[in-house]
Homo-oligomer: A and B are copies of this chain.
Amino acid sequence: MSNKKQIRVGLIGTGLMGRIHTNGYKRLADFFPEYEYVPVLQACCSRREANAKAFAERWGYASYETDWRRIIERDDIDAVDICTPNDTHAEIAIAAAKAGKMILCEKPLARTVAEAEGMLKAVEEAGVKNTVWYNYRRIPAVTLAKNIVASGKLGKIFHYRANFLQDWTINPDLPQGGDALWRLDVDAAGSGVTGDLLAHCVDTAMWINGGIKDVSAVTETFVKERVHQGTGQKQAVGIDDACIFHCHFDNGSLGLFEATRYARGHKALYTLEINGEHASIRWDLHDMNRLEYFDHSDEGKVRGWRSIHITDGDHPYMNRWWIPGTSIGYEHSFIHQVADFFYSLQSGEPCHPTFRDAFETQKVCEAVLDSARDRAWKDTGVEWVEKV
């Protein structure tokens, strides 16, 4: 391990994503031992010192900061990992790019296309390595779905369908804003389920099925006012509680997407289904180690949806883990993303989704919100370049 090249990471934001990214860094060398680069937990950052200190101690960061600008200024940081609320992504990322740091940014890239465009310009001008944490691509079943489609097994695609259903904000007494609930505060989050949940679905969708051309959407805010934890006042809720849109993909298939936080009984039910001429694929996050696959070329009498337990050595990433039949979890998608990022350092290839890919996803999200506001179809302007 001594002759590995070290990448010193500065992590900004110590919430759920801060923890799970850190777990990813810490497990890389154990499970991808031959990779040439290795992360070093150099510094973490939280506005509150007690927080920053405790996080550093618990997870083993060598130091901590309370101002993210310090992370960027420090010469002993090679890569900046942005895990803060959405309203801070642009400023931090642009500063980090100017300072020549590699950037791993939480999704969605930004609140708006305009913000995202500035970030994209910054990293491309600076020529720094960049990636966005759309982690679901790296769940082995999802990666396999991508590979199956890319192999041509489905033939022409007719339908792509995804939804992301949750139920955690039904209680109208839940406040908005603050550390834990900034996702309900439109200023911090930019949008509700569109940026938080649909952005994931859109990233996966375009990765597998190519660009989304135009969209027609509806959004709804079921709870109109919530107490804001910052002001202590009841304030209008600015986010979308639910969003549905249909769309055309560049390849002529129809898309259908829905996300909500008001689907009682679903905790984090991200599902996707793809229907092609010859075959179809289904997946859902609650049973993330399974992929369902229907192949019309199977003999008629015994043709049916296959439930594939994605735990074999020849399934994506699974040669890194245990034995057939034994599951991995949610956190592994982040470990895989860490691994792919570090591998990209030695291969010289981009680590998708890059800021450019995420910028295209941002266009879709913004077109969706515009469409819902104007009750009209919107062109997205997406130019999808990543290989489908």
A contact residues vs B (CB 8 Å cutoff)? 1, 16, 20, 23, 26, 29-30, 33, 57-60, 144, 148, 154, 158-159, 161, 165-168, 170, 216, 218, 220, 222, 242, 244-246, 248, 254, 256, 258, 260, 262-269, 275-280, 285-296, 298, 300-309, 311-312, 314-315, 321-332, 375-377
Contacts of A269 in B (CB 8 A): 325
Given A244-B246, A329-B327, residue A286 in contact with residue B309 (CB < 8 A): yes
B296 touches A280 (CB 8 A): no
A371 shortest CB reach to chain B, Å: 9
Give which listed residue, B158, B263, B266, contacts A222 with CB less than 8 A.
B158
A288 touches B30 (CB 8 A): no
A328 shortest CB reach to chain B, Å: 4
Given A286-B325, A377-B375, residue A304 in contact with residue B309 (CB < 8 A): yes
A277 touches B170 (CB 8 A): yes
Give which listed residue, B30, B218, B222, B280, contacts A58 with CB less than 8 A.
B30
Contacts of A298 in B (CB 8 A): 306
B264 touches A296 (CB 8 A): yes
Given A254-B242, A268-B325, A286-B325, residue A262 in contact with residue B158 (CB < 8 A): yes
In angstroms, Cα B303 to Cα A314, docked, is: 11
A254 touches B220 (CB 8 A): yes
In angstroms, Cα B159 to Cα A191, docked, is: 20
Contacts of A276 in B (CB 8 A): 264
B312 touches A300 (CB 8 A): yes
Copies of this chain present in the complex amount to 4
B268 touches A326 (CB 8 A): yes
B158 touches A263 (CB 8 A): yes
In angstroms, Cα B275 to Cα A166, docked, is: 11
A334 shortest CB reach to chain B, Å: 10
A27 shortest CB reach to chain B, Å: 8
Contacts of A306 in B (CB 8 A): 298, 302-307
Give which listed residue, B216, B246, B278, contacts A264 with CB less than 8 A.
B278
Contacts of A309 in B (CB 8 A): 267, 286, 304
A294 touches B275 (CB 8 A): no
A300 touches B314 (CB 8 A): yes
